[in-house]
Amino acid sequence: MGYYISIEEDVKIYVEDLNPGCNNVILFLHGWPGSHELFEYQFNQLPKLGFRCIGLDQRGFGKSDKPYSGYDYDRLSDDVRAVIEVLQLKNITLVGHSTGGAIAVRYMARHRGYGVSKLVLCAAAAPSLIQRPYFPYGIKREDVENIINGTYTDRPAMLQNFGNMFFYQYITEGLSKWFFRLGLQAASWSTAAVAKTWLGEEKLFDDMCEIKVPTLILHGIHDKVCLFSLGKALNQGIRNSKLIPFEFSGHGLFYDEQDKFNKELVEFIK
């Protein structure tokens, strides 16, 4: 079932809550520029196995409200805290994909892992999406600048180009259109604002050192968005973490190798 949670006076977050009677909870944080619907192929299967799957649409994306501001990692992680508190969730597994993974890392540091017993980072945009003088493993700064410029000048073309590099294995025309539609659901200002966050000082090197819970890192070796080297850096920086490479996946590993993704997730949680 779906419902809205008020996190600020004028901001409501949309939440999809499947199998709400179950105590084995997985909270999914989607990547840019999608919504909770990106995890459709997990929601199809995991509730059958006894898991309560909760997917929230971050502010500015999907069905959530789209304020003009509030898109830094601190505010987005505070939104996650609000959802966890309102739903009174405990001992959950927090799953973050791409930018959702970066938000999850900030949440674990900023809120000291409140309510979370296990963490899963898949193709996470952390500890830094872009290359920096002391971190040469991300994508080039100008690649993100092109995304921002494209958002302001021709957002549909930008989204189409991004979709073309999201998956590694062949996808149908229908799935390509589906992914494109998810991107269009977001507001253009929130789409650009989160991309600008990648360019700023929102780096997560210190944050990942604060993670205390068992952590599973899933990363496609063909990822063109969050390069596989980011997964290696997270594995080195997070104590009690395990990195599992996905040999036939790009950025959309939850679809490219969905059976393996679901299997590794279930085995980690049990």
Q: Does 223 participate in catalysis according to the annotation?
A: yes
Distance CA 167, CA 170 (A): 8
Q: Does 251 participate in catalysis according to the annotation?
A: yes
Residue of 128, 241, 251, 256 marked active site: 251
Q: Are strands 25-29 and 92-97 parallel, antiparallel or unpaired?
A: parallel
Torsion angle (degrees, nearest 10) of CA 60, 119, 27, 109: -50
Distance CA 269, CA 266 (A): 5
Identity of the amino acid at 259 = D
Distance CA 118, CA 110 (A): 16
Which residues touch 115 (CB under 8 Å, ≥6 apart)?
Answer: 84, 89, 90, 91, 92
Both ends of the chain: CA-CA distance in Å? 25
Distance CA 185, CA 162 (A): 15
Q: Does 57 participate in catalysis according to the annotation?
A: no
Residue 65 CA to its chain's centroid (Å): 18
Residue 70 is encoded by which pair of tokens? 């509030």
Residue of 64, 223, 241, 249 marked active site: 223
Identity of the amino acid at 86 = V
Residue of 98, 190, 241, 249 marked active site: 98
Distance CA 107, CA 101 (A): 10
Residues designated catalytic:
98, 223, 251
